[in-house]
Amino acid sequence: MKITSLTHEVDLDGIGSQAIIKRYFTIKENIKNEDIHLFYAHYTNFKQKIKEILDVSNKPDIFIITDIGFNEGFAELFSLFKKSMNSGCKIYWFDHHIVENSVVRRLKNLLEIYLNDDQKCSAEIVKDYYLPDDMIAQEIAKYAHDTDFGDNNYKIASQIQSIISFNRGKKGNNNKKRIVNLLSEGKFENEWFMDQTNKLRTWEENEYEKVESNKILMTIENIGEILVSHAKIGAGRIAKLLKKQNPDKKAYIGIDTRYDELVVYSDVINCRDLAKTFNGGGHKDRAGFKYKNIVKNGEINPLFLEKLKSEIKGKILK
């Protein structure tokens, strides 16, 4: 039996979901490691990854998607889902992002299982479905919830999240798989994790200095002050850092110049609707998208900034 897992690559919720899935099929279904295939995606390459997995003759027997919301731009995948299901590939999707009711109904009709609960993180949903009484799965889900909902109660969860961010992108896939394997075995601390933590510290310190030096303060009528910055580090981490250091602002926007990706955090702007304008997605209070050449020669593209300001004005939460 061929099992394939596709998950959100940038955080502990996505990686933790995959670890619980791997643990279930390893210990409960006795599936060999070589028959469990691990893939990673973000909103910007989700359709491409789905096609790589399903638009082939050798489809998986079971295909599981976790921690990626459904955007309008993904609608072209419906026919591929239907074709794959009809050919014997069972598709499961576990998520916690806001999705329109019409899309939820269609996915539930198309797929073997579609579960979505925005009050939980994806790892909790996966744990409840596959391993509700397993102590290791419970611990993974607990740490995933802690980082995804910003509770920050567990230092170990933050450390693992940092290591995942450090291994973002295709070059880090082998390390992400190693993290999945370790978590699935209940190994949350070991020498490799320590080594990764030491390596990323210097990188973080250098990039955090750039976040500070690249800060821009924007004032938008009827909203207030918004902080924007950029560096070669996760856009979500930039936004979180800006929010932590400047809690009085109305919104926080981080730009990861490695991938031309932007993440916005706000309690007054509908972040998801803003991101959807740029073919992105996420949650009401945090969301992201990709935009080519946001930063040029170390400066944020002024034309993009004007477009962003214009779109923000129409996305105020009521």
Check residue 163 and give its pLDDT: 94
Q: Considering the chain, what is the average pLDDT of its residues?
A: 94
Task: Provide the pLDDT confidence category of residue 296 given band limits of 50, 70 and 90.
Answer: confident
> Is residue 318 situated within a structural domain?
no
Tell me, yes or no, whether 74 and 184 share the same domain: yes
Report whether pLDDT(44) > 80. no
Tell me, yes or no, whether 102 and 154 share the same domain: yes
User: In 111-224, where does DSSP find H-type helix?
Assistant: 122-130, 135-148, 155-166, 173-184, 191-213
Return the ∠ at Cα 178 (arms to 173 and 184), rounded to 5°. 125
Q: How many domains does the chain have?
A: 2
289: containing domain: 209-313
Report whether pLDDT(318) > 80. no
Residue 76 carries which DSSP code?
Answer: G
> Is residue 65 situated within a structural domain?
yes
Tell me, yes or no, whether 148 and 217 share the same domain: no
Check residue 203 and give its pLDDT: 87
Task: Provide the pLDDT confidence category of residue 72 given band limits of 50, 70 and 90.
Answer: confident
Q: Evaluate whether 291 touches 202 at the Cβ level (below 8 Å).
A: no
Measured CA to CA, the distance from residue 310 to residue 318 in angstroms comes to 18
- Once rounded to an integer, what is the mean pLDDT over residues 66-71? 89
CATH label of the domain that carries residue 23: 3.90.1640
pLDDT tens per residue across span 265-289: 999 999 999 998 998 888 899 999 9
Residue 222 φ/ψ region, left for φ over 0, alpha for ψ in the -120 to 50 degree band, beta for the rest: left
> Is residue 29 situated within a structural domain?
yes
Tell me, yes or no, whether 146 and 244 share the same domain: no
Measured CA to CA, the distance from residue 213 to residue 231 in angstroms comes to 10
59 SS3 class: coil
Measured CA to CA, the distance from residue 181 to residue 171 in angstroms comes to 17
Tell me, yes or no, whether 147 and 222 share the same domain: no
The tokens describing 238, both together, are: 């930039």
pLDDT tens per residue across span 227-252: 999 999 989 889 999 999 999 999 99
Tell me, yes or no, whether 176 and 288 share the same domain: no
Tell me, yes or no, whether 37 and 160 share the same domain: yes
> Is residue 179 situated within a structural domain?
yes
> Is residue 202 situated within a structural domain?
no
How many residues are listed for the chain in this entry?
A: 318
pLDDT tens per residue across span 4-23: 999 999 899 999 999 999 99
CATH label of the domain that carries residue 240: 3.10.310.30
> Is residue 196 situated within a structural domain?
no
pLDDT tens per residue across span 135-178: 999 999 999 999 999 898 999 999 999 999 889 888 899 999 99
Measured CA to CA, the distance from residue 11 to residue 240 in angstroms comes to 14
Tell me, yes or no, whether 48 and 150 share the same domain: yes
Is pTM, for the whole model, over 0.85? Answer: no
- Burial pattern 62-79, b for ≥16 Cβ within 10 A else e, equals bbbbbbbbbbeebeebee
Measured CA to CA, the distance from residue 178 to residue 188 in angstroms comes to 12
Tell me, yes or no, whether 133 and 49 share the same domain: yes
> Is residue 13 situated within a structural domain?
yes
Check residue 282 and give its pLDDT: 85
> Is residue 203 situated within a structural domain?
no
Measured CA to CA, the distance from residue 275 to residue 166 in angstroms comes to 24
Tell me, yes or no, whether 176 and 246 share the same domain: no
Tell me, yes or no, whether 150 and 221 share the same domain: no
Tell me, yes or no, whether 228 and 177 share the same domain: no
Report whether pLDDT(87) > 80. yes
Task: Provide the pLDDT confidence category of residue 126 given band limits of 50, 70 and 90.
Answer: very high
